């Protein structure tokens, strides 16, 4: 029997299709930023080794030769390249690239030689990000990761940023996306270590784009850091996370690295400190964020994406697009997290990784609430047509539903991770208890036995003791 499609289902389908179009557009926008940023990073490497720069990353990397040039500079090893122009030559070169990456323990997920040769944009970006993550991020941070016995480079980097900016009341970095859009964090890091270069008060009087341009110029002129980012790509409501991490790591590489376990613990407790707000869900009616005086916080609150002034339909739609793009990305991130391990150390890492995700979730909560508030405000203004009002109500319902599902799923995983971690640690304690009991029994047994009368007997006695352990 044919299914009868109701008007409500038709409207829901249309709304979902519209959201899909919005999400695809925002994803393409982030891809464009990554392409630009990654190209600058590659060319900065080539300029040091005297190699010719690339112009179109997706086209210029397809034959594998430029990728091998890049890896030669990163590994310090000469790599043979096939000079032919056929597809077979290109595949051989790219497969050689993948082999070198595997030998250097670079994590690659579902990336094959044909993907790069065929110019797959997403997977080419993924390949370059894996290279950057290994040689730019983890390589720069390997010593401090070892000293702190930490495996999560992002958590260490965030701890360094927060420690470096803690004396700047207007700066509160919670993530590597929205917290950087106003340009204050970049300038605060530079001012913290180079206070004589510029006036902080002057920075506060600038626009976000001016602040970003100021920070990137100072970093280039005084620290030799390439302008990998363009201000207009960062001064948006949802900057590209990978591009931000890459640039902040460049700052980390040349500035004092004062990161302690207290800084790491502070980052790890961020999700718990904001947990109450997250559990309440987004405040999307008339509730406004607490003031600094009410919270007692010395740091600025996460910037709102919609102000209390009169809202127009275009600004509402633009803000909705940003939040929906982030929301879908967060859903993907949650789904891609590994199954919970049965190894206690791996579960600890998974727990901390998920805490960072919860922190990201909490940082965006006000953005979700502000979109819903703006929708309510638009409707209350009475300037919409019936169709526009109905569309906004559908959008608000869907957004609130997806947010709630994500929030609940995230908290469920956190609870499961905590439960598994407690069980595994209890098992460790029980194993230790059993070992102690067995050891005490052996000791009592040995004490009750007469001592040997000769050297051979002592040796045999010692070997039995070793076996017991």
What is the pLDDT at residue 2?
38
What is the pLDDT at residue 315?
73
d(CA 64, CA 72): 12
What is the pLDDT at residue 406?
92
What is the pLDDT at residue 1?
38
What is the pLDDT at residue 412?
92
Q: Own/partner pairs for 264-269, CB < 8 Å, 24+ apart?
A: 264/148, 264/150, 264/155, 264/156, 264/159, 266/159, 266/162, 267/155, 267/158, 267/159, 267/162, 267/356, 267/359, 268/155, 268/352, 268/355
Strands (DSSP E) contained in 239-388 are none
Are the CB atoms for 46 and 53 separated by under 8 Å? yes
pTM over 0.75: no
What is the pLDDT at residue 465?
62
Q: Exposure string (b/e) for 369-395, b if CB count within 10 Å is 16 or more?
A: bbbbbbbbbbbeeeeeeeeeeebbebb
> At 308, is the secondary structure helix, strand, or coil?
coil
What is the pLDDT at residue 276?
35
d(CA 92, CA 84): 10
The tens place of each residue's pLDDT in the chain, 469 residues long, gives: 333 333 344 444 554 555 555 555 556 677 889 999 999 999 999 998 899 999 999 999 999 999 999 999 999 999 999 988 899 999 999 999 999 999 998 877 778 899 999 999 889 998 999 999 889 888 888 888 888 888 788 888 999 999 999 999 999 888 888 889 999 999 999 999 999 999 999 999 999 999 999 999 999 999 999 999 999 999 987 788 889 999 999 999 999 988 888 888 888 776 444 333 333 444 333 333 333 333 334 454 433 333 344 567 777 877 787 788 788 888 888 887 888 888 888 888 888 888 888 888 888 888 888 888 888 888 888 888 888 888 888 888 888 888 999 999 999 999 999 999 898 888 888 888 888 888 888 777 777 776 666 677 667 766 666 655 5
What is the pLDDT at residue 124?
93
Joined tokens for residue 403: 């947010």
What is the pLDDT at residue 379?
87
d(CA 346, CA 152): 12
What is the pLDDT at residue 259?
86
What is the pLDDT at residue 6?
39
Of the CA atoms within 13 Å of residue 273, those in its CB half-sphere come to: 13
């Amino acid at each position: 029997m044919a299914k009868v499609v109701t008007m409500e289902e038709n409207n829901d389908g249309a709304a979902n299709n519209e959201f899909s179009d919005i999400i695809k557009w925002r994803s393409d926008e982030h891809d464009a930023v990554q392409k630009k940023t990654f190209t600058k990073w590659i060319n900065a490497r080539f300029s040091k080794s005297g190699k010719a720069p690339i112009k179109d990353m997706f086209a210029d990397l397809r034959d594998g030769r430029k990728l091998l040039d890049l890896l030669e500079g990163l590994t310090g090893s000469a790599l043979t390249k096939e000079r032919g122009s056929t597809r077979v030559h290109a595949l051989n070169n790219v497969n050689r690239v993948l082999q070198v990456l595997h030998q250097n323990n670079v994590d690659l997920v579902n990336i094959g030689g044909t993907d790069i040769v065929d110019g797959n944009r997403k997977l080419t970006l993924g390949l370059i990000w894996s290279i950057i993550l290994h040689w730019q991020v983890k390589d720069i941070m390997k010593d401090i990761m070892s000293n702190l016995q930490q495996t999560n480079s992002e958590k260490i980097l965030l701890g360094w940023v927060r420690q470096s900016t803690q004396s700047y009341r207007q700066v509160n970095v919670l993530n590597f996306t929205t917290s950087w859009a106003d340009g204050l964090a970049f300038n605060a890091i530079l001012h913290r270590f180079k206070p004589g270069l510029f006036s902080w008060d002057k920075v506060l009087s600038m626009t976000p784009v001016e602040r970003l341009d100021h920070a990137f110029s100072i970093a280039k002129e005084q620290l030799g850091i390439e302008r990998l980012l363009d201000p207009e790509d960062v001064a948006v409501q949802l900057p590209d996370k990978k591009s931000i991490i890459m640039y902040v790591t460049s700052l980390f590489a040349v500035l004092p690295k004062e990161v302690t376990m207290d800084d790491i613990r502070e980052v790890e407790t961020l999700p718990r400190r904001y947990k109450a707000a997250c559990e309440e869900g987004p405040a999307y009616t008339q509730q406004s964020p607490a003031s600094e005086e009410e919270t007692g916080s010395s740091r600025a609150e996460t910037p709102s994406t919609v102000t209390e002034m009169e809202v127009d339909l275009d600004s509402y739609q633009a803000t909705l697009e940003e939040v929906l793009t982030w929301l879908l990305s967060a859903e993907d991130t949650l789904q891609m997290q590994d199954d919970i391990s049965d190894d206690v150390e791996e579960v600890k890492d998974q727990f901390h990784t998920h805490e960072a995700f919860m922190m990201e979730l909490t940082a965006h909560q006000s953005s979700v609430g502000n979109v819903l508030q703006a929708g309510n405000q638009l409707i209350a203004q009475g300037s919409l047509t019936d169709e526009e009002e109905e569309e906004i109500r559908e959008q608000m319902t869907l957004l609130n539903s997806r947010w709630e599902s994500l929030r609940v799923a995230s908290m469920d995983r956190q609870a499961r991770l905590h439960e598994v971690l407690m069980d595994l640690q209890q098992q460790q304690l029980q194993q230790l208890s059993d070992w102690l009991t067995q050891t005490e029994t052996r000791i009592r047994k040995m004490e009750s036995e007469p001592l040997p009368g000769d050297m051979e007997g002592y040796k045999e006695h010692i070997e039995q003791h070793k076996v017991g352990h």
